[in-house]
Structures are given as C-alpha cells and as structure tokens.
Amino acid sequence: MPLSDLLHELEILGEQNDASETNRAKKLLNITRDTGEFLAVMVKASKAELVLEIGTSNGYSTLWLASALPASGKVVTVEKLADKAQMAAENFARAELQDRIVQVQADAGEFLRGNQQMFDLIFLDADRSSYLAYADDLLSRLSSGGVLVCDNAMSHRHELEDFMAYLSTKDTLTSCLLPVGKGEFVVHKA
C-alpha cells in the first residue's frame, strides 16, 4: 500500500478512535501530521541511520521516521502494550517498511537500562512523568552530534518542565522549543 495512503488512513482512524474511546490505554494518541513531516526532515538533515522511538502506539510516528531513513537504517521502537505493538506490526507490513523497524515490547525504563546501543536520533513520546528518570540513560544512548526530540512539550509543558530544566544544565546540549504540532523540544548533543 502506498505510504501516503496508509498515513492518511491512520490519521482518520486515530482521530475517530481517540474521540470515541474513553479508556486512555486504548487511545492511539498519534503525533500530528506536521510533527511527522518535521521528524522526517530531522532524520534526513541529521543523516541519522539509527533511530530510537519510545512510545510506538500503532506505529504512525514510526512510519514517518522509518520512511525517512536510508534503506540501511533502522528504527528501534519501544511499546509496552501488546495490542498496540500488534497493530503497529500490521501497519509496518502494510507499508513494507518492516525491514527497517525493530519492535521491542517492553517498559521503556527497563529497555533503556538494559540496552547499550547508540542512536543518532531519539524520539520520546510515551510516559511523560518518567522522562526525568530516563534522562541520563537517554543521553548516554545518544551519539555525539545526535538529536533528541520530545513531543507534547507545549501541550503538556508543566509535566516536562523538570526534564527540560535538567537537560538545560548540561553544557554539551543545545535545545529549543518548536511550535510544531503539540510542541517539540529539540536537543542537540555536541
């Protein structure tokens, strides 16, 4: 299926599902289309080959990341819920991008503590209250010259203030807050 058709289908599904679903665990909570476009530009501009995504849901954002990578690139995407990981796997196969995507069904904190792989770009879109606890592990997995992008930095700014303030104390980091989608906090590591 052409990627543009699948992305459009998922945008409609996400809006309809999240408007009618009252159980938060079953909401898809996808990024906005302009955030997807922004992530694709970031992957290409930074020449990223290895991307880590925390928070797969049904894989809408993963498709933007994976489609921007060179054929040799990989996205490792972490999701704790089995039903969402299964929906994502189906979408990756429909887009024929499954070879560029490694799915990990795990808690993000456990994954970060147990994984030593380095990444050129990290996209953070999961349990915001844990980001500060993840911060040191995230930074140690980010390559020199790499970029961390964090979603919901304006829509839920109060929840991310400690995390953003902590990162601003690091001399090796340069950051900015972009009014794209729900607000993207973008951090470059020297």
Ligand X SMILES: C[S@@+](CC[C@H](N)C(=O)[O-])C[C@H]1O[C@@H](n2cnc3c(N)ncnc32)[C@H](O)[C@@H]1O
Applying CB under 6 A, the residues found at the interface with ligand X are: 29-31, 55, 57, 60-61, 78-81, 84, 107-108, 125-127
The nearest distance, CB 36 to ligand X, in angstroms, is 8
The nearest distance, CB 57 to ligand X, in angstroms, is 3
When the beta carbons of 133 and 145 are compared against ligand X, the nearer one is 133
- Phi then psi for residue 155, to 5 deg, are -65, -30
When the beta carbons of 18 and 170 are compared against ligand X, the nearer one is 18
CA atoms within 13 A on the CB side of 149: 28
Q: Report how far Cα 146 is from the mean position of its chain's Cα atoms.
A: 14
By C-alpha distance, which of 107, 167, 109 is closest to 133? 109
Calpha distance 104→87 (Å, rounded): 13
The nearest distance, CB 89 to ligand X, in angstroms, is 13
When the beta carbons of 91 and 164 are compared against ligand X, the nearer one is 91
When the beta carbons of 155 and 168 are compared against ligand X, the nearer one is 155
Helix (H, G, I), strand (E, B) or coil at 33: helix
The nearest distance, CB 24 to ligand X, in angstroms, is 9
Contact 51, 76 (CB under 8 A): yes
